[in-house]
Structure 1
Amino acid sequence: MATAYLGAVGDEREGLVESTHEDVHAGEHGTRVRCLPEPWMCDVFHLDGSLRDIRVLDVTRVEWIAVLERLRAVADETEVEHPYPWLDPVRPAVADLFRVWADEPEGRGTSFAFRARFGAVWFFALPCDEEEIEFSVWPEDVLDGAGVAAVLRFLVEVATASRRRALLTGEVVRYDPGMPSLISHDPVSGLTSHI
């Protein structure tokens, strides 16, 4: 169990508030306490300076398109950035993004960015591989139970849209099937599991 004490420097615990299952985060907006309701959440979203990745393995363009279209329908907000002047600058068709990126000579060597917000948490993808869906999230954005719920909802939406198991992992360049997943959701069984 993680315990943090916040108070005046030099106080011998007088006037200090004990907080359980929390991380103390010293960010650009000052020190704040992150209240995660369960101990396992502190392990999953430990502030270590690295991202957490949401992955779906062994996919095709079809699953990528299904996931991005589903996220556009259910997320609180989505954004797309792309370098292709002949596509809609704000809301290009997802199938067109993949066609230009992967199939047209003008699109090769470039990519596009897709972001989706659930609650206060943003998830972002910069597709570089058609065979693996990968989104990233900053663990410091997961401040409380509502943030964890946003991550779980995102994971379920991605798994449901792709019809494949979605994994939340530590940040790595390429996922190895031998790596443990921090959280996973299987759309076939409907089960979500964590470390």
Structure 2
Amino acid sequence: MEETNARRRVEPAHEDVHAGEPGTRARCLPQPWMRDAFRLDGSLRDIRVLDTTRVEWIAVLERLRVAADETEVEHPYSALDPVRPAFADLFRVWADEPEGRGTSFAFRARFGAVWFFALPHDEEEIEFSVRPESVLDEAGVASVLRFLAEVATAGRRRAVMTGETVRYAPGMPTLISHDPVTGLTSHI
């Protein structure tokens, strides 16, 4: 929806932000909740599933490997396939074997034009991050909603998107959530 100012000039009723890099598009998030959820404040957005185990992590990563437009895995473990390791093996080496102590691995998944990434630090909480500046428009928001639903469905638990934190704290504002039991997605 557009607004007309006092000089009768039509101005968009949404945020237009240009990233300033050659070839980038202007950012256009038309709904107030979208602008609030993806405010450019210098921090990432975290997508989390709480109280998980290795089994849920593996299920989520396997589902994302199939559902995403593109995925990438990076790890330092010489015994594993360098490009497409089995996730069960990746978690075994990372968490259980001396080779994996003190290291981690990286997983990235692209839905549409938006990349999501994880650097697992424990098995008890699934956490992915997304850069809010990569969510340029309603298609980008739709990619985030699809990702959130895929993670919640595979993990069989509610997935939430919050502002960037080290650990989730009860009572922290939830920007978007998806409940796989009800199939409902809610936002601020």
TM-score when normalising by structure 1: 0.89
| Shift, 1:154, TM fit | 0.1
Counterpart contact for 2:74–2:105, Cα < 8 Å = yes
3-state DSSP class of the match of 2:107? Answer: strand
3-state DSSP class of the match of 1:185? Answer: strand
Residue in 1 aligned with 2:87? Answer: 94
Alignment partner of 1:169 is 2:166:
no
Aligned length: 186
Tell me which of 87, 98, 101 is aligned to 1:105: 98
Counterpart contact for 2:17–2:28, Cα < 8 Å = no
Quick one: distance in 2 between partners of 1:35 and 1:71?
Answer: 27
| Shift, 1:178, TM fit | 1.3
Tell me which of 37, 60, 75 is aligned to 1:82: 75
Unaligned runs of 5+ in 2: none
Quick one: distance in 2 between partners of 1:29 and 1:70?
Answer: 35
Residue in 2 aligned with 1:6? Answer: none
Alignment partner of 1:154 is 2:147:
yes
| Shift, 1:72, TM fit | 0.3
| Shift, 1:183, TM fit | 0.2
Residue in 1 aligned with 2:178? Answer: 185
Tell me which of 11, 18, 23 is aligned to 1:18: 11
Which consecutive aligned stretches of 4+ in structure 1 deviate over 4 angstroms post-superposition? none
Quick one: distance in 1 between partners of 2:40 and 2:59?
Answer: 32
TM-score when normalising by structure 2: 0.93
3-state DSSP class of the match of 2:99? Answer: coil
Alignment partner of 1:139 is 2:132:
yes
3-state DSSP class of the match of 2:100? Answer: coil
| Shift, 1:25, TM fit | 3.0
Q: What's the CA shift string for 1:107-138, capped at 9, x where partnerless?
A: 11000000000000000000001000000000
